[in-house]
Amino acid sequence: MKSLYSRFVFMTVGIMLLSSIIGFLLTNVYYQVKLKPYNSEKILMYAKEVKSLYEKQSEENKEAYLQSIAKLGYEIYIVDDQNHGKRIGNAFRKITISDDTVHKVLQGETFNGVSTYPTRLFITGFFDNELINSVGVPLKHGDKQYALFIRPDIQQQFGEMRIFLAVLLGFIVVLSIIFIAIAAGYIVRPIRTFTKATQKIASGEYDIELDESRKDEIGTLATNFQKMTKSIKELDQMRQEFVSNVSHEFQSPLSSIQGFSKTLQSENMSEEERKRYLKIIESESKRMSSLCKQLLTLASLDKEEKVLQIKEFNLQKQIKDVIFMLEWKW
């Protein structure tokens, strides 16, 4: 059987994992709806700026210019009219793009693959390093026309930040689990105290002290538990006292009946004495019957009404009855 402690820890960790998944999905949705259009336009504007400055460079500086752009944190791929490609900077993870797209860029159109990149549930498109997830602009070099595809190099621009965030996230997860385990122990500790208290009550020990100083639900529970323990203790004492009294009351008429029965076996006894003794035996039998009925009142101790019922009785008659009952011992 799993303990409350382990249930609490697993449940909290499960909530953390579920919250992380939902948070990631919502972040991905936010990227697709808000950030993706803005990001694609920004990259396209940057690509046009790179094209404009490239075409203004001298022939011997154009290659160095693209190399410097790549070093600033961008991945560049150039395709000529023969469909021959050349990479500048870090390589794309996947170099796959349709000939039709390349042809359109060579003809002077722009290609915005960032905005048209397919939406995926568990992958934020901004980090997917594929050639089709880039922007393309026409580029003129001498008499030749080229297609320039460019996108941010995420590894170069955010490499250290990604490591930092990964380490930070790792520390957060580990420390969260540790603190959750400590908090769970703090929460479960009073429950364990109550468990031990119930075990003591089950064994008949009612002198239990619980911490009632807390101002939360546990403190209220401790106060009510103490009241319950006191009520159970009083009820148990009443039962024990009742059983003790009834046992004593049973012993007295039984002794009288036993004594008078032996006396009746004597042959030297008048008829009047015999009748009187039989009457006493009958009276004691009725008394035992009354005591049996009184035993049924034991169940009423579980109720809230008072069991004690006060009524008047004839003390003189009771003393005479006691003398008659003990006459056989003389």
pLDDT tens for 18-44 read: 888 888 888 878 878 888 888 888 889
Task: Give the three-class secondary structure for 216.
Answer: coil
At 94, the amino acid letter reads K
pLDDT (average), residues 34-61: 87
Judged by DSSP in three states, 122 sits in coil
Give the angle 255-259-261 at the CA atoms, nearest 5°. 120
Using DSSP, state whether 190 is helix, strand or coil.
helix
d(CA 60, CA 179): 62
Give the DSSP letter of residue 91: P
Give the mean model confidence (pLDDT) for residues 69-94.
87
Could you report the per-residue pLDDT of 203-262, keeping only the tens digit for each?
A: 888 788 887 787 878 788 888 888 888 888 888 888 788 778 777 777 777 777 788 787
Does residue 86 have a pLDDT over 80? Answer: yes
DSSP 2-58: --HHHHHHHHHHHHHHHHHHHHHHHHHHHIIIIIHHHHHHHHHHHHHHHHHHHHHS-
Domains identified in the chain and CATH numbers: 4-172 (3.30.450), 217-329 (1.10.287.130)
Give me the amino acid identity at 301.
L
Q: Does pLDDT of 111 surpass 90? A: yes
Q: Which tens digit of pLDDT belongs to each residue from 189-210? A: 888 888 888 888 888 887 888 8
β-bridge pairing 74-79 and 111-112: unpaired
Give the contacts of 126 (CB within 8 A, at least 6 positions apart): 31, 35, 36, 39, 154
> Would you state the pLDDT for residue 160?
66
What integer pLDDT is reported at residue 147 of this predicted model?
92
Amino acid at 304: E
Question: Comparing 78 with 268, which gets the higher pLDDT?
Answer: 78
Confidence of residue 144 (pLDDT cuts 50, 70, 90): confident
User: Does the structure show a pLDDT above 80 at 114?
Assistant: yes
> Which runs of E-coded beta strand occur in 50-89?
74-79, 85-88
Measured in whole angstroms, the distance separating CA 33 from the mean position of its chain's CA atoms is 34
Pairing status of strand 85-88 against strand 111-112? unpaired
Element (H, E) at 139: strand 135-141
What local confidence, expressed as pLDDT, does residue 96 receive? 84
Structure-block tokens of residue 126: 């901004």
Query: How far, in Å, are 9, 136, 239 from residue 46 at the CA level?
Result: 49, 11, 92
**CA terminus-to-terminus distance, the chain:** 69
Sequence-ordered list of residues with C-beta below 8 angstroms from that of 78, at least 6 positions apart, any chain: 66, 85, 86, 88, 139, 146, 147, 148, 149
